[in-house]
């Protein structure tokens, strides 16, 4: 099963990824988590990515694409994955589409999480009290949302038209369990 999650930061993609991961026994590929792991280990990539991340800017496409090229080769990707936070730009979506085509693979479902930006801001501020993330301050959140509108929203429009039958808009303002139910309802139809 290959699942693509789209939607703004703080929309709940990470939470639902964890749920889907267990349900389908496939890995969550979160470029944000991967980058944070690099920052923590202070790798060359981590050093470069950190500056962009702290400002809420997107990390350069070439860095992301090099990282994903390696990740897709991992053994655990054989039976599918949940893409969370990738692709975020046109070059990234081109890379994904070409990769899928070359390997004769396809996406099974695309969930686009729709949510009011005011709710997102509140959620991220709430989360920042529990988890210390250097990009969870109000100013940086604003930049992240701007980047979403400028760079990532147009990408979701492309997926919406290219994969019209597989593209599902999810109301991400609902409760976690309600969203889980909705995702499962849609996925049951995909499996049959």
Task: Find the binding residues for ligand ADP in span 140-159 (CB under 6 A).
Answer: 144
Q: Does 35 contact ligand ADP by CB under 6 A?
A: yes
Stretch that binds ligand ADP, among 81-89, 98-106, 155-163, 169-177 (CB under 6 A): 81-89
Shortest separation between residue 191's beta carbon and ligand ADP, angstroms: 27
Shortest separation between residue 70's beta carbon and ligand ADP, angstroms: 14
Dihedral of CA 177/121/136/141: which sign? positive
Shortest separation between residue 165's beta carbon and ligand ADP, angstroms: 25
Q: Does 86 contact ligand ADP by CB under 6 A?
A: yes
Q: Does 52 contact ligand ADP by CB under 6 A?
A: yes
Helix axes 61-72, 90-102, angle to 10 degrees: 20
- Cα–Cα distance, 98 to 140 (Å, whole number): 32
- Cα–Cα distance, 176 to 160 (Å, whole number): 24
Q: Does 31 contact ligand ADP by CB under 6 A?
A: yes
Query: In Å, what is the CA distance from 51 to each residue of 16, 35, 54, 169?
Result: 28, 11, 5, 32
- Cα–Cα distance, 156 to 175 (Å, whole number): 23
Q: Does 85 contact ligand ADP by CB under 6 A?
A: yes
Stretch that binds ligand ADP, among 56-64, 72-80, 153-161, 184-192 (CB under 6 A): 56-64
The two three-digit tokens of residue 81, written as one number = 């994955």
- Cα–Cα distance, 190 to 9 (Å, whole number): 26
What's phi and psi for 156, nearest 5 deg? -65, -30
- Cα–Cα distance, 69 to 11 (Å, whole number): 26
What's phi and psi for 167, nearest 5 deg? -95, 115
Stretch that binds ligand ADP, among 83-91, 94-102, 105-113, 161-169 (CB under 6 A): 83-91
String marking each residue 91-120 x if it binds ligand ADP according to CB under 6 A: -x----------------------------
Number of residues that bind ligand ADP (CB under 6 A): 18
Please give the residue ranges that form the binding site for ligand ADP (CB under 6 A).
Answer: 9-10, 31-32, 35, 52-53, 56-59, 64, 85-86, 88, 92, 135, 144
């Amino acid at each position: 099963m290959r699942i693509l999650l789209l939607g703004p930061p703080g929309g709940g993609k990470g939470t639902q990824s964890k749920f889907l991961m267990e349900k389908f026994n496939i890995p969550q590929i979160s470029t944000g988590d991967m980058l944070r792991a690099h920052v923590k280990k202070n790798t060359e990539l981590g050093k470069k990515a950190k500056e962009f991340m702290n400002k809420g800017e997107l990390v350069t496409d070439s860095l992301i694409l090099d990282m994903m090229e390696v990740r897709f080769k991992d053994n655990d990707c054989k039976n599918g994955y949940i893409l969370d936070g990738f692709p975020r730009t046109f070059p990234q979506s081109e890379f994904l589409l070409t990769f899928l085509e070359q390997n004769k693979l396809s996406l099974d479902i695309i969930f686009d999480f729709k949510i009011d930006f005011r709710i997102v801001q509140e959620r991220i501020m709430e989360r920042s009290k529990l988890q210390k993330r250097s990009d969870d301050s109000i100013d940086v959140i604003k930049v992240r949302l701007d980047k979403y509108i400028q760079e990532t929203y147009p990408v979701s429009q492309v997926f919406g038209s290219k994969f019209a039958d597989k593209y599902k808009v999810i109301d991400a303002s609902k409760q976690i369990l309600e969203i889980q139910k909705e995702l499962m309802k849609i996925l049951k139809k995909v499996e049959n």
